[in-house]
Amino acid sequence: DAKTTQPNSMESNEEEPVHLPCNHSTISGTDYIHWYRQLPSQGPEYVIHGLTSNVNNRMASLAIAEDRKSSTLILHRATLRDAAVYYCILRDPFQGAQKLVFGQGTRLTINP
Amino acid sequence: ETGVTQTPRHLVMGMTNKKSLKCEQHLGHNAMYWYKQSAKKPLELMFVYSLEERVENNSVPSRFSPECPNSSHLFLHLHTLQPEDSALYLCASSPDRGYNEQFFGPGTRLTVL
């Protein structure tokens, strides 16, 4: 499985945008980029995924570099509820059974 | 609420005990998964079931025995566990095993004494 690299922790303020980076220099052409987050005392929660183009949904935006070696998860206006560990995961849908390989993720702290 | 429930939420057991973890999904999904999350380690996939058939066993010791009697229920039977097996055990489901999004339950916090 291709590896991702994320900062261990980040801090931001409430109501400000947050940009969470992820490096994946060994990404293959068929790997999708997935983001999940895990709030305290809960299981992981799907946030967004993409292949090449930038993606938007109600939770966040995903900006993918042109060479696909990095991506950024954007929370447009952080709230206290966004404090969580954010995981960037690569997955090849042609590998058969879906296998999410989680790294250590980025622990995001939101200050009031 | 994700539609995936797990019971019990907390479990303490001795090394000689036998216990079972239960997962139930109300989403009509065909694929179900067990993950293990130890302190200071990333989530690790343990087992994958698709249409009640085990399709992946991620080199898990035999003291963990999964069971999927139907597409809505998944069990993890535990016996002669070790203290290092203490962890958060998470269940997830997806419409099928190729689907992009997995829905996770809240987990069972297991402590082995």
Instruction: Give the gyration radius of chain A's Cα atoms.
Output: 13
Strand partners, B57: B47
pLDDT at A74: 98
| CB < 8 Å to B97, chain A | 96-98
pLDDT for the residue B73: 96
**Are the C-beta atoms of residues B48 and B36 closer than 8 Å to each other?**
no
**Min CA distance, A92 vs chain B (Å)?**
9
- B4 contacts on A by Cβ (under 8 Å): 43
User: For residue B101, what pLDDT band results from cuts at 50, 70 and 90?
Assistant: confident
Lowest mean pLDDT among A86-95, B24-33, B68-77, B85-94: A86-95
- Chain B residue numbers with beta carbons less than 8 Å from the beta carbon of A45 are 2, 104
The residue-averaged pLDDT of B2-19 equals 93
* C-beta atoms of B100 and A91 within 8 A: yes
- Residues A48-66: pLDDT tens digits? 999 999 999 999 999 999 9
Ranges in chain A, pLDDT < 70: 1-2, 95-98
Both structure tokens of A17: 């945008």
What is the model's pLDDT at position A2? 63
Residues B4-26, mean pLDDT to the nearest whole number: 95
Exposed, middle or buried by CB within 10 Å (0-12, 13-18, 19+), for A88? buried
